[in-house]
Amino acid sequence: MAAETGAVAGLDDAVLPFAVPDLDVRGRVVRLGPSIDAILERHAYPVPVSRVVGEACALAVMLGTALKFEGRFQLQTKSDGAISMMVVDFTAPDTYRAVAQIDQAKLVEAMALDKLSTGDLLGEGHLAMTIDQGSATTRYQGIVPLTRQGLEEAAHQYFRQSEQIPTRVRLAVGTVTTGGRAHWRAGGILVQFMPHSPERLRAADIHPGDAPEGHEILASNDPDGIEDDAWTEARSLVETVEDHELLDPTLESERLLYRLFHERGARVFEAVPVHEACRCSRERVLAMLRGFSPEDRRAMVADDGTLGVTCEFCSRRYTFDPAEVEEGLSPGL
């Protein structure tokens, strides 16, 4: 198969961390193949929606694989566009799942007007990124407003505001036809400026006005902010990355990095393989059902007398006998 398609073994469904020490930059390249194809095929969203979900997956997988603990990273949007809600869950160390909710009337309108950019489809609302290590004290959430700026710019804002790390992200989603069918692919690259000296960090691309509430960014003499040369170079190189370079199944991530940073020398670390998998199970669904009130549960029983639940992430259907659900409940509680 590899010979037929020219696909490179080990390239797909993996994140490649890298560093460019000369530029004080660290980063990640993600290439999603069979996993994103499975998710988007299963959901069968209209193409413009699939593209946005693919972008969100590429971003969440790049950020999630940076976690150094067993926990979860969640990217969630809630907004007034055609995609009213979207969730990508990344469970460390290597699995992800995604779901979106569509406002059909708004999608029809967006398609008629050809307003199909990520920013247009999300509209206005907010993007939340949550890092959850399993208890309330180790939960961290950063929120950025969505103002039709798309996910790349929203990610830049998130890192400026929440972590004060100058960041550039490029995301791409598309299809490649093999075996008579179009297969979804997604890719992304992220670079972050992490110099040792705080003065250089301040000079990078943090402008007055970007300061988080209660903080003040030390003003530079240049009202536009003086950019650090190394960061300007790294950021400009990443901004030149084209969609096809992130989607090409024959272009290794190492070669993409060489194209970008050959004059500076990029150091690559061990690739992290990822795959799509849901967290749902019969036990979890049963526990959820038992959390509802008896009235709510009765209302959910279908005409055939069964109680059915479909997982919105993976479309798996769970069917229960209502008696089985009630069984685990102690009377009087």
Output the smallest distance, CB 81 to Zn ion, in A: 25
Candidate residues 247, 314, 320, 325; the one interacting with Zn ion per rule CB under 5 A: 314
Which amino acid is present at 169? V
Q: By CB under 5 A, is residue 99 in contact with Zn ion?
A: no
- Whether residue 173 contacts residue 185, with contact meaning beta carbons closer than 8 Å, is answered with yes
Output the smallest distance, CB 280 to Zn ion, in A: 3
CA distances from 208 to 23, 168, 212, 227 (A): 24, 19, 10, 13
Range in contact with Zn ion (rule: CB under 5 A) among 39-47, 53-61, 156-164, 316-324: 316-324
251/278 with CB nearer Zn ion: 278
In the numeric block, the tokens 């038992």 are attached to 290
Burial of residue 295 (number of CB atoms within 10 Å: 0-12, 13-18, 19+): exposed
Q: By CB under 5 A, is residue 30 in contact with Zn ion?
A: no
d(CA 273, CA 259): 23
Q: Which residues pair with 144 in a beta bridge?
A: 127
What is the footprint of Zn ion within residues 48-77 (CB under 5 A)?
none
Binding mask 253-292 for Zn ion (x = CB under 5 A): -------------------------x-x------------
Output the smallest distance, CB 283 to Zn ion, in A: 13
14/86 with CB nearer Zn ion: 86
Tokens of 283: 């036990």
Q: Which residues contact 21 (CB under 8 A, 6 or more apart)?
A: 265, 267
Which amino acid is present at 275? H
Q: By CB under 5 A, is residue 98 in contact with Zn ion?
A: no
If phi > 0 it is left, if psi is from -120 to 50 it is alpha, else beta; for residue 175 that is: beta
Output the smallest distance, CB 302 to Zn ion, in A: 20
Candidate residues 311, 319, 322, 326; the one interacting with Zn ion per rule CB under 5 A: 311
30/278 with CB nearer Zn ion: 278
Using CB under 5 A, list all residues that contact Zn ion. 278, 280, 311, 313-314, 316
